[in-house]
Amino acid sequence: MLINSVEIRSFRSIKDSGLLELGPVTVLIGRNNSGKSALLRAIYLVQSGAHFQEEDRRLRERGDVQVRLGLAQPYASPVKAVYRNDGPPPIDLALEVTVPPAGTPAVHATWLQGAARNNISPLPSARPHHLFVPVFARRKPLSSYDSNVDIDKSRSVAVNDHNLTAWIHSLTGDHPESRRFRDLVGQVLGNETSVSTFPTQHGQQPGLAVSQYEGISLDRMGEGISGVLTILAELASPGPRVLLIEEPENDLHPEALRELLRVIIEAVNEHACQVIVSTHSDFVLRTLGSTPGAIIYKSSLSLHPGDGLPTTEYTRLRSAIERRDALADLGYDVTDPVGWLIFEESTAERFFREVLIPFFVPQLAGFRTLAAGGTGKVKKMFEDLRRFMLFVQKVEDSEAEPEPRAWVIVDGDQSGHEAVAELAGKFERWPSDRFVTLSEPTIETYYPDCFQERVKAIEDARAAGADWKSVQEQKGALVVDVCSWFSDTDGAKSEIEASAGELIDQLRIIETRHRELYT
């Protein structure tokens, strides 16, 4: 933790925020123009490079704009560097920004030992001595990235990416930070993406270097890439800092967003970073909001009784009901099923959902079935589900993890065994019987004998090197036929009992276990 709290007065739609406690992760949700960005930009005023415009002053306000940050101990090095006094910094040190009417921002250090106030300069905005990293919307420069590269530009921290060329250029080479940056880019944007700089007629440009003299500039890439690179470049260098992020989901593929959030959480847990993020995404809320110590605020506008102006209020979401309502407000289906069954592929999920559960173990009809799309994605889906349960079932201040009403069922091939072993190793607090490996290598092995000739043809095609998409299409067509056959054929139930007895027995074990624990 670097900042414990923030108080804001007379900034944009904020008349008086009151004392807002901050966590290692703080998530801001709310409708458009309800004050989420205002809070992030007010916090950033304490660092040099932030620009205060008179339009940022709340309409009709005649007093000072004030932003006060309560600092956590041990104090970050940028705070220590600007604190001018003999001896160690006092307990309960705070930073305060005051903007008088028709004036310019003035930063003060204040502490709660009397009324002493020590005037200081704004916090430095040069890497690596900065505290705040603004990752605001519309970072991409309107014209183009600065093509000049020098040490000052590479260290500059700003609200836009005008100097991104120099920054990315400093992360080329083979030093630890450049290797870390390349690794992070590969994780989030894909291993085929390698961002660096390349020469142009007027200097350097950031982007994909295609050859020694050619490249594809970031100008020709999506808006979301700019903000992502800012975060990844920042996290490539060691050191605790505060990331102020506006809507990280914008213009990002879901898989890239998933990996970006994973990288952010890793920075919080392992590198003492702090994150304050605004979002309209239920996935961002579920993922970041379920981290230990996370605090969630919902911003809303109402007319102030004194002046009649739209005024922001921040409501802290503490209860499970408030969190579920927040997800529902963002469009997420928060219907709470009896339990969850996660399968490796959609063919298995359909066979269980349409045949095995309703006709052999109907007690599990209230379970929700999910298909991961391969063993490589089982862990990600399970982690998403776990975060959802943490988010909607846990009271904010409770450390207890919700009861694990979920089971994972995968094929008995090598990748299935490896996936279950990885899950059991990572989630040691979950009962081991929640991760099930079948005895057969494919779900199709459990289809009745009349389909086994087609099953063998699919396996022969896979062994002969048929592409993955073709094999999946054949498997998908086969499970459709199996389900239709079961509905239309006399005696089909007895044949399924004979061929898929192991699967039916496993469902009955799950049903018994669930009934013993949760009913």
Q: Which residues neighbour 406 within 8 Å (Cβ) at sequence distance 6 or greater?
A: 339, 340, 341, 342, 382, 385, 386, 389, 434
Q: What is the pTM of this model?
A: 0.84
Q: What's residue 194's pLDDT? A: 81
Provide the CATH number for the domain formed by 3-122+291-329 in this structure.
Answer: 3.40.50
- Check whether 52 has a pLDDT greater than 60: yes
- Check whether 115 has a pLDDT greater than 80: no
- Give percent of the chain above pLDDT 90: 50
Q: Which pLDDT tens digit goes with each residue over 455-487?
A: 999 999 989 998 888 999 999 999 999 999 999
Q: What's residue 35's pLDDT? A: 93
Q: Which pLDDT tens digit goes with each residue over 197-217?
A: 888 888 888 888 777 777 788
**Structure-token pair, residue 455:** 């099953």
How many angstroms separate the CA atoms of 294 and 282, rounded? Answer: 15
Q: φ, ψ for residue 53 (rounded to 5)?
A: -110, 150
In 259-352, which ranges are E strands? 274-278, 295-303, 310-316, 339-343
Q: What's residue 61's pLDDT? A: 85
Identify the three-state secondary structure at position 250: coil
CATH 3.40.50 domain position(s) in the chain: 3-122+291-329
**pLDDT-based confidence at residue 395 (cuts at 50, 70, 90):** low
- Check whether 79 has a pLDDT greater than 90: no
Q: Which pLDDT tens digit goes with each residue over 20-34?
A: 999 999 999 999 999
How many angstroms separate the CA atoms of 288 and 161, rounded? Answer: 25
Stretch among 91-95, 334-338, 368-372, 394-398 having the lowest mean pLDDT:
394-398
**pLDDT-based confidence at residue 112 (cuts at 50, 70, 90):** low
**pLDDT-based confidence at residue 399 (cuts at 50, 70, 90):** low
Q: In what order do the strands lie in the sheet with 203-209?
A: 195-200, 203-209, 215-217
- Check whether 402 has a pLDDT greater than 70: no
Q: What's residue 437's pLDDT? A: 95
Q: What's residue 297's pLDDT? A: 97
Q: Which pLDDT tens digit goes with each residue over 239-260?
A: 899 999 999 998 888 889 999 9
Between 114 and 394, where is the model more confident? 394
Stretch among 118-132, 169-183, 347-361 having the lowest mean pLDDT:
118-132
How far apart, in Å, are the Cα atoms of 203 and each of 217, 280, 326?
Answer: 13, 38, 48
Contact between residue 315 and residue 36 where contact means Cβ atoms under 8 Å apart: no
**pLDDT-based confidence at residue 405 (cuts at 50, 70, 90):** confident
> How confident is the model over 137-166, as a mean pLDDT?
85
